[in-house]
Amino acid sequence: MKKLYNATIINESGACLPHKDLYIADGRISRICESGTVQPDLVPAETIDCSSYFVSPGFVNLHAHTAMNIFKGIAEDVPPEVWFNEMIWPYESKMTEQDIYTGTMLGIAEMINNGVTAVADHYFGEDQVLRAAKDTGIRMDIAPTIFGTAPDFRERLAQVSEFIRNHQGDSPRISLRFGPHSDYTCPEETLAQIVDEAKKMGLPIHLHLAETELQVKQSLERTGKTPFRCLYDAGGFDLPVLVAHGLWITEDDLTCLNGNTWFAFCPKTYMRLASGRGGFFDFADQLQFSFGSDGAASSGTVNPLEQARLFAMLEKFNRNDAEIYPFLEIWQRLMAGHAVFGADSGKMAENAAADLVIWDLNTPDTMAFYHPVSALLYAAGSENVRYTMVEGEFLKYDGVLKMDYAEVAREAMALQKNLLSRGKGTAKVYY
């Protein structure tokens, strides 16, 4: 049992509750009480003095290609079609298992360092992704990616089904779902096959939809339907769906959605790839959304806090309205994403999962603050994350990552050189 002594709690609504003791056991918050009150039935093995700290639920990253941290900075200042066709997909075609493992370790290290306790991953090489998740202890939802246009589509679908069957129930921190890459790389028939397989296994899906205006235009030319309508007609919205982006959603698409549809919005990627101001911004108040980062090769970072910060600033700027998206609302949006993981995390309540961050705001970048949530949203960085905890286990402790980060970084620099010297291969798909 651990005790967080005399903390100020920041709850999921952004309310601050000072002078609390938190007791943590068996991965859960077992008790929250006024600091200093005697709890004779609880005997902590370790006490952290949080008198000058804040404790909140961790952050969730609802859409990441975590392994792409190995490609961070490899394709800068290029439009999406060059980014995919000439850079990322050719390099990815020559990726090794070691690249995927180390890239995923790098991405997880960055996330834990920034107070992320859960990530919805969307990538191939799922054995290595799973291995990295288990080695680090982060909570991860894994959606092995499937390309319907790839020549080995049938084998790949069978491989993913088998992976899921073999690893369901491995760990309470791991959840699994199907990851069709997108509507444009999964033509209707293949999308329907993936959806049917997910239905058979009782699992949700995670896919890219309507990321760019061009994708919507090409979908209309090819099928007469928008990407959302394609998924709807394939039966996809009968399942819980995690939609990455949906930036160019149309008003008619709103009728496809239901209470089990979540959006992972990644504004930093849209800004860097100049993806435009799509309908998402206009319909945001009708959408169930939180923030993702996308891969580090497009967004540069995998920190959802930064994405949330950019979202609020973009809308204030574009609408010429400083009052829109107040910081408490953005905080609530960040916290809402916990629902996707079904782990009872994201709440400062007894029996909730102990996926927590202990914040130190007594640093030059956040002092002197007037509300801790506005300090977090607009001023904080990874140096303010003193401790990160998943299911009661510390993954960052007193400012230091628990994993052997120096070894991961050494390996990454060696792999980065190999990647460049191997060069680009032939991509299986075309954007």
Can you give the binding site for Zn ion, defined by CB under 5 A? 244, 294
Name the residue number minimizing CB distance to Zn ion.
294
- Give phi and psi for 340, each to the nearest 5: -60, -30
Q: Which is nearer to Zn ion, 12 or 294 (CB)?
A: 294
For residues 27 and 267, which CB has a smaller minimum distance to Zn ion in the complex? 267
The residue count for the chain: 431
**What is the Cα–Cα distance from 92 to 253, expressed in whole angstroms?**
32
Of the candidates 148, 210, 139, the one whose C-alpha atom is nearest the C-alpha of residue 175 is 139
Residue 404 to residue 151: CA distance in whole angstroms: 39
Give the residue with the Cβ less far from Zn ion, 34 or 76: 76
Q: Minimum distance between the CB of residue 214 and Zn ion, rounded to whole angstroms? A: 16
| C-alpha neighbours within 13 Å on the C-beta side of residue 285 | 5
Of the two residues 66 and 161, which places its CB atom closer to Zn ion in the complex? 66
Q: Which is nearer to Zn ion, 298 or 384 (CB)?
A: 298
How far apart CA 89 and CA 200 sit, in angstroms, is 31
Give dist(CA 370, CA 334) in Å, integer: 20
Give the shortest CB-298-to-Zn ion separation in angstroms: 7
- Report, in Å, the least distance between residue 310 CB and Zn ion: 16
* Distance from C-alpha of 318 to C-alpha of 366, rounded to nearest angstrom: 26
Apex 49 CA angle, 9 and 134, nearest 5 = 75
Q: Which is nearer to Zn ion, 106 or 209 (CB)?
A: 209
Question: What minimum distance in Å lies between the beta carbon of 242 and Zn ion?
Answer: 11
Query: Measured from the CB atom, is 270 or 341 closer to Zn ion?
Result: 270
> What six digits make up the tokens of 333?
């949006």
Round to whole Å and give the CA distance between 163 and 144. Answer: 9
Angstrom distance (rounded) from CA 405 to CA 412: 10
